[in-house]
Amino acid sequence: MIENPQFHTMPDGHRIAFRHAAGAGPAIVFMPGYMSDMAGGKATALFEWARAEGRECLMFDYSGCGESPGDFADGTLTRWADEAIALIEARVHGGVVLVGSSMGGWLMLLVAEALGSAVKGVVGIAPAPDFTDWGYDETQKGALARGETVYEDNPYGPDPTPTHARFWADGQNRLILDRTIAIDCPLRLLHGQRDADVPWDVSLRLAGALRSDDVQVTLIKDGDHRLSREQDIALLLRTVASLSGA
């Protein structure tokens, strides 16, 4: 059973919903994808596994997502990364293993650079760094640059997926694939080769940009973007366990 969330108050007063399980470290911290939250299948499976194994685990919803109040249109990578860092510093008193899905895989990299040696491992699930650049065509980028919101078909729900100009502009200022990403811990990247949202070669580009030499990319030939099948979840849990000492 997943209990009701707690709330962390940021310096400007906005609140972030989170769930924290005490246990042995390093703490496992999960970062959901775009318009996703800690109630998703991968997050729930990871939290329940961590509690069963006696591992410390921290889950949270970005402001404007899931159980965190706020307007989704105000969200940016910088804002959500700041929330993640604030929660980790307030609730975790040792090392962390960061796990990020899709957009959360971009965020985990920004957070890992900020936290430095406190990060003991990183696991990306179809990580999507720089998707504000490679994920939009020139017409869409022009609209976003003019301050417009772009809507795209959503394969996971009835409503179209919005990209707000503020989010896109912030993303363009946080591009990382064309520089050395200053992370030195072990990193594991899991990517489905049938991913229709994030090309699997993004994980290969990411592996090349990372400063760490301890980087492994696992390609799942029949895996889709979500990697939420039973066998995908099992691979995720084995991967996290291998980096967390479980």
pLDDT band of residue 246 (cuts 50, 70, 90) is: low
In the predicted structure, residue 245 carries a pLDDT above the cut 80: no
* Domain presence at residue 108: yes
147 alpha-carbon distance from chain centroid: 25
Q: What is the mean pLDDT of residues 128-145?
A: 97
Percent of all residues in the chain with a pLDDT value above 70, rounded to a whole number: 99
Two tokens, residue 169: 């502009």
* Domain presence at residue 137: no
User: Which residues make Cβ contacts (< 8 Å) with residue 151, sequence separation at least 6?
Assistant: 160, 161, 162, 163
* Domain presence at residue 156: no
Q: Is 102 designated active site? A: yes
* Domain presence at residue 160: no
- C-alpha 115/C-alpha 242 separation (Å) is 21
Give the domain extent around 39. 6-129+182-244
Query: Of 140, 7, 174, 149, whose CA–CA distance to 72 is shortest?
Result: 149
* Domain presence at residue 41: yes
Kindly calculate the radius of gyration of the chain based on its CA atoms and give it in whole angstroms. Answer: 17
Q: What pLDDT is recorded for position 25?
A: 86
Per 3-state DSSP, the chain is made up of helix, strand and coil in percentages (nearest 5) of 35, 25, 40
- C-alpha 6/C-alpha 161 separation (Å) is 28
| Domains of the chain: total | 1
* Domain presence at residue 65: yes
* Domain presence at residue 63: yes
- From the list 20, 164, 191, 225, the catalytic residue is 225
Q: Is 195 designated active site? A: yes
CB 235 within 8 A of CB 190: yes
* Domain presence at residue 113: yes
- From the list 170, 195, 203, 232, the catalytic residue is 195
CATH of the domain at 228: 3.40.50.1820
**What is the per-residue pLDDT across 28-73, written as a single tens digit (0 to 9) for each?**
999 999 999 999 999 999 999 999 999 999 999 999 999 999 999 9
In the predicted structure, residue 214 carries a pLDDT above the cut 90: yes
- From the list 63, 68, 101, 102, the catalytic residue is 102
Q: Is 225 designated active site? A: yes
In the predicted structure, residue 161 carries a pLDDT above the cut 80: yes
